[in-house]
Structure 1
């Protein structure tokens, strides 16, 4: 059955069949192979049981919040505000892109959303200030992964549903690691700009004289204030137990509507576009999740997770050796699958064994999200690479890839930091 399921999945993916339908069809082949056509009746119960969970209401709400925020031009305001405060430091404009990406990630929930919005604003400004194409594109593409770590992260919600881990605890645990990774990236940019390595890497030590900007420091706070306040309200209500993630998502939608209204961007056309786009994205995510749960059921029938656990235990591998193997496996799988598909396919297989080793599910979820950042910036499927490339005319894919290489090392360092100091994942 395992051979039937795996080969079917690989064959369908190679043909270009969407991930959701590839998962469903390969799982169906395996289920019928074992129990005949009558056993396929279980699929309807699995699908309904998956998509009818109340916690999943948070997904379309967070997506809608992100789309409404996008229409209000917050990305540009965030970047201008952050640049006002740190833009004159060594490597300041690149650090501004990283910090703005982290903040926008707290309302986007996806790496692609951060790459699209921040890339369109930050990359032209970096090029204007004589940063190289590689550095400009690579910095934005790599830091967009913060959108999958900092809550409300859609892949983190998927992880919580698949593993039955508290989404509120996952959100709380991911805040500090997200900030730490942001600081690691900023420290790298600051250091190589300060010591002069920028001459070979495309960074500028100090920002050249620019056009007069009438934005004051107080004005910059007012510009970014509404979004920052919305983030504190949404994440703070979850962290303090005032609201569930679903309720906090609803609060976020109301807040995003008020921000768009205050910026006079809440037109009927923009609102309709936000509803249509969020509906498409939500349907896509829920379809993938439902089909992945059917796939997980097929693997459970074949006792794949149990067999892996038995093999690992019999091999007497050290827990960190197995952890390293899983991290490497996820890295290479991320070259072929997007982050959400990777979570849904790989996590049900390795999660039971990781629990036998005594890993904390919340800590493991956050570390896996850091690993998923590789999936969005490694070719050939790294979606953020293509989003960033298309954000500015003239950028080449190889330039974006080359610019992300140092940040891959920074993500590895971040995983090591979280492994050495697991207390950073506070629940």
Structure 2
């Protein structure tokens, strides 16, 4: 086990030195295997890399990313916000509430927090600022709502978690629905309280506007129903549903006349770039997990924790604290891939449900994307409002983040919210 901790220290050192996570993982594995068994042991890396990338379920990752890129590039995501804003804009603080709802809906077809922040922030923040919202509330509503895409299916981090831990992805998707909806409602209530004294209202929506809103939002809603519904109805696997979503995004954009050659090329390029990055990190993580398995660090660490005879909830709290601290410095996918080979055996040994733990982890990791100094969503939102200080973005986001913490605590007391 001591040797495993040394390798883990080498990995963290490489990451702190600025070496890309994928190369840090693979490089540490190369050095570790060579140290333990010479070049003969190093040869096992090729078999591990092949077995990792040949998983059929991994095909869902580039397909979901492509679906998200098409929706973002063709302006369908912007239409979604406009439609939701027309429905909810009549209430006090309606634009901020609409922003959170739009983040949740777009998150259901995006699966990534950064993508939600970029698309919704680009249209929602200028709209709210033009209606008199403070910069703190305008940016906070977007940054606070953007992590919903990590919990509401289809979530790319949940897919990664499912692949690494061999947990059924369909079960993970199903478990994320209720907590995602609860967080969305709580965030809407939160932003409504934040603006209740400003009395900011939109013009009442007439019948024509209502029909126009339905027309604008229907493509995204239909796509969500096709993707998620096909999984839960048993018609398609998550990978097949991802293919349905990608084709559906192309068809919708084509029918609306937005599918230009330039947008197709840019979407394919962005999808390939993001997918390659994720798969490189995934291969590196699997290689590092193989190295740790040889050192028997996860098994011995699990045995040590069990022998301590301390409350499993104390161990759980320490694990959540460790994840929160890691989230301040690493992005979510890297955290999941690096830690799961070490942590997951302990989670199972302490009799925590893997599906439940995944949703609690996603609620925790939702804080990571808006936590300095590496909170990517903070910087994406700030880029949508260049004159807004990062401090205002953080302060505007903080109240909404408390809603994620409340749901995380609720999941501990009522696990049935996720594993009903």
Quick check: TM above 0.5? yes
| Partner Cα separation in structure 2 for residue 407 and residue 33 of structure 1 | 48
The question of whether the paired residues in 1 share the 8 Å contact of 2:4 and 2:296 is answered with: no
Pairing partner for 1:148 from 147, 150, 169:
150
Kindly state the Cα deviation for residue 91 of structure 1 after the two structures are TM-superposed.
2.1
Pairing partner for 2:376 from 383, 388, 395:
383
Trace 1:200-279 onto structure 2 (pairs within 5 A): 204-207=198-201, 216-279=209-272
Q: Which moved more, 1:213-222 or 1:406-415?
A: 213-222
* Pair 1:350-2:343 in alignment: yes
Q: What is aligned with 1:392?
A: 385
User: What is the CA deviation profile of residues 45-94 of structure 1, one whole-angstrom value per residue up to 9, with x for unaligned ones?
Assistant: 11000001001011111111111111221121111111111112122111
* Pair 1:175-2:168 in alignment: no
Pairing partner for 2:30 from 11, 28, 31:
28
User: What is the CA deviation profile of residues 322-372 of structure 1, one whole-angstrom value per residue up to 9, with x for unaligned ones?
Assistant: 111111110000011101001111122111111112111111111111111
Kindly state the Cα deviation for residue 214 of structure 1 after the two structures are TM-superposed.
9.7
| Partner Cα separation in structure 2 for residue 240 and residue 358 of structure 1 | 29
* Pair 1:420-2:409 in alignment: no
* TM-score (norm: length of structure 2): 0.96
* Pair 1:282-2:284 in alignment: no
**What RMSD, in angstroms, separates the aligned Cα atoms of the two structures?**
1.7
Unaligned runs of 5+ in 1: 197-203
The question of whether the paired residues in 2 share the 8 Å contact of 1:88 and 1:206 is answered with: no
| Partner Cα separation in structure 1 for residue 402 and residue 301 of structure 2 | 29
Kindly state the Cα deviation for residue 219 of structure 1 after the two structures are TM-superposed.
1.2
| Partner Cα separation in structure 2 for residue 31 and residue 135 of structure 1 | 51
Kindly state the Cα deviation for residue 255 of structure 1 after the two structures are TM-superposed.
0.8
| Partner Cα separation in structure 1 for residue 171 and residue 324 of structure 2 | 25
| Partner Cα separation in structure 1 for residue 195 and residue 342 of structure 2 | 43
SS in 1 for 2:24: helix
Q: What is aligned with 1:14?
A: 16
Kindly state the Cα deviation for residue 151 of structure 1 after the two structures are TM-superposed.
1.0
Q: What is aligned with 1:199?
A: none
**Residues 237, 414 of structure 1: alpha-carbon distance in 2 compared, 3 angstrom cutoff:** same
Kindly state the Cα deviation for residue 206 of structure 1 after the two structures are TM-superposed.
3.0
The question of whether the paired residues in 2 share the 8 Å contact of 1:363 and 1:422 is answered with: yes
* Pair 1:53-2:52 in alignment: no
The question of whether the paired residues in 2 share the 8 Å contact of 1:91 and 1:190 is answered with: yes
Q: Which moved more, 1:356-365 or 1:103-112?
A: 356-365
| Partner Cα separation in structure 2 for residue 186 and residue 376 of structure 1 | 19
**Residues 176, 44 of structure 1: alpha-carbon distance in 2 compared, 3 angstrom cutoff:** same
| Partner Cα separation in structure 2 for residue 135 and residue 307 of structure 1 | 48
| Partner Cα separation in structure 2 for residue 264 and residue 208 of structure 1 | 30
| Partner Cα separation in structure 1 for residue 200 and residue 377 of structure 2 | 28
* TM-score (norm: length of structure 1): 0.94
* Pair 1:291-2:291 in alignment: no
| Partner Cα separation in structure 2 for residue 342 and residue 3 of structure 1 | 17
Kindly state the Cα deviation for residue 192 of structure 1 after the two structures are TM-superposed.
4.0
| Partner Cα separation in structure 1 for residue 414 and residue 255 of structure 2 | 42
Pairing partner for 2:6 from 4, 7, 12:
4
| Partner Cα separation in structure 1 for residue 256 and residue 386 of structure 2 | 29
| Partner Cα separation in structure 1 for residue 9 and residue 36 of structure 2 | 16
Paired residues in the alignment total 418
Q: What is aligned with 1:332?
A: 325
The question of whether the paired residues in 2 share the 8 Å contact of 1:64 and 1:274 is answered with: yes
| Partner Cα separation in structure 1 for residue 297 and residue 94 of structure 2 | 49
SS in 2 for 1:36: helix
| Partner Cα separation in structure 1 for residue 264 and residue 208 of structure 2 | 29
SS in 2 for 1:216: helix
Q: Which moved more, 1:304-313 or 1:37-46?
A: 304-313
Q: What is aligned with 1:305?
A: 298
Pairing partner for 1:365 from 345, 358, 381:
358
Q: Which moved more, 1:302-311 or 1:173-182?
A: 302-311
Q: What is aligned with 2:110?
A: 108
The question of whether the paired residues in 2 share the 8 Å contact of 1:71 and 1:260 is answered with: no
